[in-house]
Amino acid sequence: MTAGAVGPHGRLTLPHLIRLFQEAAMRNTDRLGISSHHLSRELGLTWVLHRQTIWATDWPALGAAVRVVTLPTRMERRLITYRDFYLLDAADRVLACSTSTWSVMDLQSRRIRPIPSMVTASLGELPTDTSELRSPADKPTPPAQATAEHFFRVQFAHLDFNNHLTNPAFPELMLEPLDSPYLTSHVPVLADMIYHREARYGEALTAVAETASDLGPFSHALYRGEGELLAAMVTEWKEIA
């Protein structure tokens, strides 16, 4: 792990894990000729993430050698495609795994569109392995009564090549209400995120959290303005030994 990917506790952080997963997905789709760059150039479309669930048993420390394995797993009604990820250490032990759901969005209208035939043709027959990961049945919902909150404004550094708040920034902002002492002494064992709407440059955002116990489950949400829900998340934690 490089210095830029670890936090004050010397371990990989959740937002940087998501960045590793996204980079792996980008490289995989780029090799297949169906990355966001290909879709935007040829069809005016881009990939958007709807939900991601991450389970972690161990968080690698600074200097540790890791690699990411990713594969598309299935497609539903040409509207949603699923992709799984595995974070492996040097001995190929699974440190974390994740499943995610994606759609394609029209860059002009910002509306979801059917997955184009160039994608289905490139993917071919998707795996039918029973080891496919599945998200929990219950979707993350906003806190019923927030116990902590934090205010932000979307900065240029938060944006990705689609000109909106990049996916890893959503959980990054939603974790902030937990504050530094907790985040320095704990690591998540579960993070389940659902994305509802985009956020753009300069918008005022509010992150809130509700804590059920010292280790969770915690519920989180990110709002725009006067309460428009952008994303929700559930997390569970363990104390660093």
Could you tell me if 24 and 67 lie in one domain? yes
Structure tokens at 170: 């959503």
Strand-strand pairing, 66-76 and 204-211: unpaired
Rounded Cα–Cα distance for residues 182 and 179 (Å): 6
Specify if 74 maps to a domain.
yes
Could you tell me if 184 and 109 lie in one domain? no
Could you tell me if 106 and 24 lie in one domain? yes
Helix (H, G, I), strand (E, B) or coil at 145: coil
Could you tell me if 83 and 156 lie in one domain? no
Could you tell me if 90 and 197 lie in one domain? no
Question: How does DSSP classify residue 35?
Answer: S
Could you tell me if 27 and 67 lie in one domain? yes
Which CATH number does the domain housing residue 165 bear?
A: 3.10.129.10
Could you tell me if 104 and 175 lie in one domain? no
Rounded Cα–Cα distance for residues 68 and 75 (Å): 22
Could you tell me if 19 and 100 lie in one domain? yes
Q: At what angle do helices 36-43 and 14-32 cross, to 10 degrees?
A: 50
| Phi (first) and psi of residue 22, to 5 degrees | -65, -40
Could you tell me if 118 and 9 lie in one domain? yes
Rounded Cα–Cα distance for residues 47 and 103 (Å): 6
Specify if 143 maps to a domain.
no
Number of structural domains the chain divides into: 2
Domain range for 56 is: 3-123
CA 225 vs. chain centroid, Å, equals: 22
Could you tell me if 75 and 28 lie in one domain? yes
Angstrom CA distances, 54 to 133, 171, 193, 194, stand at 10, 12, 9, 12
On the 0-12 / 13-18 / 19+ scale of CB atoms within 10 A, 43 is middle
Reference 194, options 220, 215, 213, 218; nearest CA is 220
For each of the chain's 241 residues, which pLDDT tens digit applies? Answer: 777 888 999 999 999 999 999 999 999 999 888 888 898 888 999 999 999 999 999 999 999 999 999 988 888 888 899 999 999 999 999 999 999 999 999 999 999 999 988 888 877 666 555 567 888 889 999 999 999 999 999 999 999 888 899 999 999 999 999 999 999 999 999 999 999 999 999 999 999 999 878 888 999 999 998 899 999 999 999 999 8
Res 212: pLDDT: 77
